[in-house]
Amino acid sequence: MAVDAVTLAIMKGRLEQIADEMDATLFRSAFNPIIAEAHDASHGIYDAVTGDTLVQGKSGLPVFVGVMAFAVKAVIDKAAERDGVHEGDVWIFNDPYDGGTHLSDFRLVKPVFRDGKLFCYLASVGHWHDVGGNVPGNYNPAATECFQEGMLIPPVKLFDRGQFRQDIVDILSANSRLPNSLYGDLNGQLNALELGEKRMASLLDDYGDGVVADCLAELKRRAAQMMRSQIAGLPSGTVSAEDYLDNDGIVDAPLKIALDLTIDGDRMVMDFSRSSPACAGPVNISRSTTVAACYVALKHIFGDVPANAGVLEPVEFRIDDASLLAVKAPKPVGGYTETILRLIDVVFQAVAQIAPAAAMAPAYGTINALSLAGHRGDGRRWVMFSFFGGGHGAHASGDGLNHGNAPISTATIPPLEILEAAYPVRFTEWALRPDSGGPGEYRGGLGAVYEIALLEEQADVFLFGERGKYPPPGIVGGGAAAPNRFHFEQRDGLHEPPMLSKMVGIQIDKGQKLRLETPGGGGYGDPLSRTAESVLRDCRLGYVSRQQAEAAFGVVIAEDGSLDETATVSLRRREAAQ
């Protein structure tokens, strides 16, 4: 049935509003700051037969769009093996190899029925604060199998035909260091699903099941059509890009993420066959996570395409089953965020070779998962787990964003006021990091400096980061950003991790500090093409030092802070001639 443009536009808005309201419900009710403040969660509407993403909320993590389609399909398959799908069912699981990401991300999937017939699925995913494993917060950089990262729950029913299964919640709670947080987050997700079901029922009552189904199919068709048109606008041929992870946390050796990107008319082939094999440490990811990361990268480049499964219809993926991009249990996958960020980086670098105006330089490339945990004076357990920001890459239209969150999400960085109120820590510094953005005609965004002092007697600390050895590169002649740096204070002075970006088993005492200096984003274009006035402004704002202005941009700033135009022209001529 043909859908008129006005009805389709109204339906698109109504459907997106349902997913957005589900997002807002969880964000307002979750107990842990990772969801409530940082918005590390997502909700969507999914196809009743295939599990394909139909609609996703705009406030959640885009990386979950691709992954959650695999998650809903996992529930569809599991239900088919058993007694089918029933009204009142809710499934729960966190299996990272079967439609998941890592063990911290718990998924709830609810079928929506109309007059006894399945119409669609609603799904919720949220990052729970602690799900067991060897380290509080679960980002275990020393894990060599998933059992050291937390509890693994396959798809099971939390509600069976409307009957709540308390035994499932008892098992989950018994395996968490923070069962109250777990309980609050779980109920927040259930509330979001309940609201979503009510809103879907209201929409279907208003327009009828057939009209809504036709609109969902048309939105998917148009997304695929728009994506084909965008791809067809690129020059045909194959380009290649490579980037590296510092190490896997176990063996201090680089891991290659390689992409051969082929444009063939209105189709795209993303071939990752040259990437490193599966590794011992927790930077492996599942195939579904790889696909989801590529979806996010493509959405950054083709921003006008709607967020549904149609985006991936013209894209073929080639991923070696033996690589670190397609692992199965029990390979550890806790640090999946670091690997998907590198996947996004290589997509950006490949596209920059064929469509530089559409590309952006890599962002800072690590969430720097940092955890502090200990006991308060009254014996209560506390676990502070958070991630931190950095600079975004420059692009053809301007400089990169200073101190943003990772491009895998629309999440926010938890405010220091929230962290200080919840945990016995004090931030003694929270600032932009000078000279951290990659030089270019357009400068990469600045990273940040975070310094944290412990207020309790003792804490155990771990860091799971990246970009300590391989800083974010520039594109189209732009320069690399500053690398990641982490130091921790102990009685004998400052130390840094032997592998630079990953370490577990750090112990600090009251008053001692941790210092994290995050990377900026890569630069875009020749730094000598940046206007001297822009460099002078950067210096006056404290973004760029006089030394970097001269060394990287060929701009000479006098002692009084003014621009030395004569010296700048002379220096830039010499630099250009070399």
pLDDT, tens digit, 9 for 90 and up, residues 271-298: 999 999 999 999 999 999 999 999 889 9
The closest alpha carbon to 425, from 434, 435, 439, 414, belongs to 414
The closest alpha carbon to 447, from 511, 571, 385, 362, belongs to 362
Per DSSP (E only), the strands in 62-114 are: 90-93, 105-114
**What would the mean pLDDT of 192-218 be, rounded to a whole number?**
96
Q: Which amino acid makes up residue 374? A: G
Q: What is the pLDDT, as a whole number, of residue 440? A: 98
**What would the mean pLDDT of 152-180 be, rounded to a whole number?**
97
What 8-state DSSP symbol labels residue 397? Answer: T
| Lowest-pLDDT choice from 49-63, 220-234, 270-284, 520-534 | 49-63
- DSSP letters of 424-487? SEEEEEEEE-TT-SPPSSBPPPP-EEEEEEE-SSEEEEEEE---SSSPPPPBTTPPP-PPPEEE
Does residue 410 have a pLDDT over 80? no
Q: Which amino acid makes up residue 522? A: G
Q: What is the pLDDT, as a whole number, of residue 66? A: 72
Nearest 5°: CA angle at 577, between 572 and 578? Answer: 105
User: Which residues touch 175 (CB under 8 Å, ≥6 apart)?
Assistant: 131, 132, 150, 151
Distinct helix (H) and strand (E) counts, the chain: 12, 20
Does residue 139 have a pLDDT over 90? no
The closest alpha carbon to 53, from 304, 271, 291, 287, belongs to 291
Q: What is the pLDDT, as a whole number, of residue 307? A: 77
**What would the mean pLDDT of 507-518 be, rounded to a whole number?**
98
For the CA atoms of 155, 158, 160, 165, the dihedral, rounded to the nearest 10 degrees, stands at 130
Whole-number Å distance between alpha carbons of 140 and 238: 37
pLDDT band at 578 (very low <50, low <70, confident <90, very high): confident
Give every strand in the sheet of 485-490, ordered side by side. 425-432, 448-454, 513-517, 485-490, 493-495
| Lowest-pLDDT choice from 48-62, 184-198, 493-507, 518-532 | 48-62
Whole-number Å distance between alpha carbons of 540 and 290: 42
Whole-number Å distance between alpha carbons of 86 and 104: 27
User: Which residues touch 270 (CB under 8 Å, ≥6 apart)?
Assistant: 259, 261, 294, 315, 316, 317, 318, 347
Q: What is the pLDDT, as a whole number, of residue 305? A: 82
What 8-state DSSP symbol labels residue 140? Answer: -
| Strand, helix or coil for residue 141 | coil
**What would the mean pLDDT of 104-115 be, rounded to a whole number?**
97
Does residue 474 have a pLDDT over 90? yes
Q: What is the pLDDT, as a whole number, of residue 65? A: 67
Task: Please name the residue ranges forming H helices in 110-208.
Answer: 166-174, 179-207
Give yes or no for a contact between 433 and 368, defined as CB atoms under 8 angstroms apart. no
| Tens-digit pLDDT profile for residues 310-337 | 889 999 999 999 999 999 999 999 999 9
**What would the mean pLDDT of 472-481 be, rounded to a whole number?**
98
Give every strand in the sheet of 369-375, ordered side by side. 381-386, 369-375, 458-464, 502-509
Whole-number Å distance between alpha carbons of 119 and 123: 14
| Strand, helix or coil for residue 571 | helix
Whole-number Å distance between alpha carbons of 131 and 173: 9
Whole-number Å distance between alpha carbons of 365 and 467: 7
- The structure tokens 């695929």 sit at 224
Q: What is the pLDDT, as a whole number, of residue 368? A: 95
Q: What is the pLDDT, as a whole number, of residue 1? A: 60
**What would the mean pLDDT of 545-560 be, rounded to a whole number?**
96
Q: Which amino acid makes up residue 226? A: M
**What would the mean pLDDT of 450-469 be, rounded to a whole number?**
97
Average pLDDT of the residues of the chain: 94
Greatest alpha-carbon pair distance for the chain in Å reads 81
- The structure tokens 């017939």 sit at 117
pLDDT band at 124 (very low <50, low <70, confident <90, very high): very high
Whole-number Å distance between alpha carbons of 122 and 128: 19
| Tens-digit pLDDT profile for residues 28-70 | 999 998 899 888 899 999 999 999 999 988 877 777 767 889 9
- pTM, whole model, 2 decimals? 0.94
Q: Read off the tokens for 244.
A: 């590296």
The closest alpha carbon to 194, from 70, 68, 48, 88, belongs to 88
Whole-number Å distance between alpha carbons of 32 and 65: 22
Nearest 5°: CA angle at 375, between 372 and 379? Answer: 165
**What would the mean pLDDT of 176-186 be, rounded to a whole number?**
96
**What would the mean pLDDT of 112-139 be, rounded to a whole number?**
94
Does residue 270 have a pLDDT over 90? yes
Q: Cα dist. 20→27, 219, 262 in Å? A: 11, 17, 35
Whole-number Å distance between alpha carbons of 296 and 407: 8
Q: What is the pLDDT, as a whole number, of residue 408? A: 80
What 8-state DSSP symbol labels residue 312? Answer: G
| Tens-digit pLDDT profile for residues 2-25 | 788 899 999 999 999 999 999 999
The continuous run of DSSP H or E covering 46 comes out as strand 41-47
Q: Read off the tokens for 145.
A: 């199998």
| Tens-digit pLDDT profile for residues 339-389 | 999 999 999 999 999 999 999 999 999 999 999 999 999 999 999 999 999
Whole-number Å distance between alpha carbons of 257 and 278: 11
| Tens-digit pLDDT profile for residues 70-88 | 999 999 999 999 999 999 9
The continuous run of DSSP H or E covering 419 comes out as helix 416-422
% of the chain with per-residue pLDDT over 70 = 99
**What would the mean pLDDT of 420-425 be, rounded to a whole number?**
96
Whole-number Å distance between alpha carbons of 254 and 262: 26
